[in-house]
Amino acid sequence: MTEADEDRQLDALIVGAGLSGLYQLKTLRDLGLNVRVVEAAKGVGGTWYWNRYPGARCDVESLSYSYSFSPELEQEWTWTEKYPTQPEILRYVEHVADRFDLLRDISFETRVTSAVYDERSKRWTVTTGGGDVIDTQFLIMATGCLSVSKAPEVPGAERFQGPTYHTGHWPHEGVDFTGMRLGVIGTGSSGIQSIPILAEQAREMTVFQRTPNFSMPAGNRPLAAQEVADMKENYREWRAAQRASGFGVPVPAPTESAMDVSEHDRTAKYQAGWDQGNLVGVLTAYTDTLTSKEANDTAAGFVRDKIRSKVHDPEVAETLCPTSFPYGTKRPCLDTGYYETFNSDHVHLVDLRKTPLQEITESGIRTSEAEYEVDAIVFATGFDAMTGALTAVDIRGRGGVALKEKWGEGPRSYLGLAVAGFPNLFTITGPSSPSVLSNMIVSIEQHVEWVTDAIAYLREHGHTEIDATTEAEDGWVAHVEEVGNHTLYPTADSWYMGSNVPGKPRVFMAYIGGVGPYADRITEIADNGYEGFTLS
Ligand code: FAD
Ligand code: N01
């Protein structure tokens, strides 16, 4: 067999060279498989390759948002900031790719467009945008939960005479908005991170806000040499705690209801959480923040008061206060000077709830009330999250059934890892796993290792095919829904619910059962000979 044939006749094909795809490549290569990665981008990094907008950084602390699989890597790499910037994370991912010699098995600038399962050969035929055809036994979609960017559904963008940018695919050379009138649409995490920096450049900046978000100060800072050294000494214990935790970040479990304490004590506790400068301090202060509206209102009220205390103009402050969803049910944000930005005379806020966006014109953005002339537009409008990258590929399982059709009323998956009727296909951090409700690198490692073990098991036992049963899948979907319905998450219009994309079914797409309990369940399933799967 020639080298070219070997690249087209694989044991496993991995789609995506982000944190998931790279680690999956390493583990399957270590297993002795003939495995390759195909990646649409020109380089590794996934999220951290694409999202180069000013201010892009992680909001999980660097010492936790890093791979745990290699103690040597942990010791070699030294993070410099509490919350690492996109360039620092990208350097880390590139270092990992080099250190483990991964690049030789990755084809860049290659987008998978279709994958068809052949029931007789029990193999996938995968086609790329360039017309290459790859034959593989296992197909692993490491395509990311937030990798398909979403434009605002406003007519006229093509007419606009100036440049437009989406935070999710920012130009590598950067953009200088100095002296410009800038319009920014979107106030999720990407908007909230970039707006303060964009405002420093722009002559005039108008922010178009449809829904305000809850954001807390990140308290970012350089890491002290001693805290890095301490973590390096204790990494093993920390990693174990991460894996057993609820959100992939170890925090003390709350013990009491927000309603069982005095207002004075509650405020003090929220303040302590706020001062930590992280996503979990306020969120996990009490047992019922995410399950009781009454309890949640106390946390939401605390954050709203903080917003009011930062923004000088009371009307602007009220517009920035979220009231339409419970705190935490849309992904909360961490910021550096976001609310304070609106105290600058050259920064303006337009409330799209009062004056909806109507169109983009040749020279600006028109709402129901006015036209705002701008020289450039930044779309911080988010992603077709969790299912977008999977349904963008024409994936056909048994009987030629299309994944997109099967998921017509919302994603159906067994454990977020496999889809009944789509044998030998695995999804890393797929819908109905903890994925986006966690420090994702923890969930990624969990899934990659589970898939690797499953493939090793199949090979050891002489099996060539694994498929989830419909019964197991139905049971898991019902469980995910039931657990979700015990929380306030389904009450929000969020990308977790698919509600940011017009026409997308309204389904809570993540599993809120907790990273640790979920890991126990999937391990148990494997230990029981892959319960809920048919192996043949
Ligand atoms: P990705 O990094 O999305 O990589 C998927 C890759 O697949 C991409 O490179 C894409 O080009 C490629 N791909 C997709 N479809 C195809 C196709 N058909 N053919 C070929 N290639 C394809 N998570 C956290 O836990 N903490 C954070 O602080 C955090 N911050 C974030 C900040 C931003 C701006 C964004 C967008 C996300 C953030 N996330 C964060 C989530 C982040 O996506 C994950 O933490 C993690 O990086 C995902 O890695 P991945 O490899 O699974 O997916
Ligand atoms: O996207 P978003 P994002 N007209 O969907 C608005 C991760 N992340 O890129 O809320 C007008 O959150 C939309 O309004 P609404 C993190 O998981 C992390 O910011 O739908 N407005 C919203 O305000 C995050 O949650 C970091 O009403 C429109 C915004 O655009 C996820 O990625 C940084 C519109 C989109 O917000 C996505 O974040 C960045 C329209 N037609 C990202 N369409 C960290 O800090 C959309 N909007 C680690």
pLDDT score for 6? 66
- Give CA angle at 342 (339, 346), nearest 5°: 155
pLDDT score for 8? 82
The token duo for 291 is: 């399950």
pLDDT score for 411? 98
> What is d(CA 277, CA 218) in angstroms, rounded to the nearest whole number?
5
Q: Which bound ligand lies closest to the C-alpha atom of 166?
A: 2
pLDDT score for 91? 98
Residues with CB under 6 A from ligand 2: 58-59, 146, 152-154, 167, 185-191, 193, 210-211, 331, 334, 352, 357, 380-383, 436, 495, 500
pLDDT score for 363? 97
Question: Closest ligand 1 atom, CA of 18?
Answer: 51
The token duo for 309 is: 């205390």
Residue nearest to atom 23 of ligand 1 (CA): 440
- Among residues 474, 454, 462, 465, the alpha carbon closest in space to that of 522 is found at 454
- Among residues 138, 142, 104, 195, the alpha carbon closest in space to that of 23 is found at 142
Burial label for 367, CB within 10 Å (0-12, 13-18, 19+), is middle
Ligand 1 mean position, distance from CA 51 (Å) = 9
Residue nearest to atom 26 of ligand 2 (CA): 189
451 — phi, psi (to 5°)? -65, -40
pLDDT score for 414? 98
- The conformational region for residue 277 under phi > 0 = left, psi -120 to 50 = alpha, else beta, is left
- Residue 68's CB is within 10 A of a number of other CB atoms, namely 18
3-state DSSP helix/strand/coil % of the chain, to nearest 5: 35, 20, 45
Coil, helix or strand at residue 10: strand
Q: What would the pLDDT profile of 398-435 be if each residue is shown by its tens digit?
A: 999 999 999 999 999 999 999 999 999 999 999 999 99
288 — phi, psi (to 5°)? -115, 15
Q: What would the pLDDT profile of 108-123 be if each residue is shown by its tens digit?
A: 999 999 999 999 999 9
| Sheet with 164-166, side-by-side order of all strands | 164-166, 376-379, 181-185, 204-209, 347-351
Ligand 1 mean position, distance from CA 214 (Å) = 23
pLDDT score for 152? 87
Best residue among 27, 145, 440 to mutate for probing ligand 1's pocket (most ligand atoms within 8 Å of CB) is 440
Residue 511 CB-half CA count within 13 A: 31
Ligand 1 mean position, distance from CA 204 (Å) = 32
- Residue 477's CB is within 10 A of a number of other CB atoms, namely 18
Best residue among 381, 439, 489, 497 to mutate for probing ligand 2's pocket (most ligand atoms within 8 Å of CB) is 381
pTM of the model: 0.97
Q: What would the pLDDT profile of 158-206 be if each residue is shown by its tens digit?
A: 999 999 999 999 999 999 999 999 999 999 999 999 999 999 999 999 9
| Single-letter amino acid code for the residue at 90 | L
Residue nearest to atom 46 of ligand 2 (CA): 381
Best residue among 146, 165, 193, 379 to mutate for probing ligand 1's pocket (most ligand atoms within 8 Å of CB) is 146
Q: Which residue has the tokens 């059962």?
A: 513
Q: Which residues, at least 6 apart from 160, have a Cβ–Cβ distance to it below 8 Å?
A: 360, 361, 362, 363, 364, 377
Whole-number average pLDDT of the chain: 97
Which residues of the chain, if any, have pLDDT below 70? 1-6
Residues with CB under 6 A from ligand 1: 15-21, 38-41, 46-47, 49, 51, 56, 58-60, 65, 111-112, 142-147, 190, 389, 393, 428-429, 439-440, 444
Question: Closest ligand 1 atom, CA of 21?
Answer: 51
pLDDT score for 192? 98
pLDDT score for 2? 59
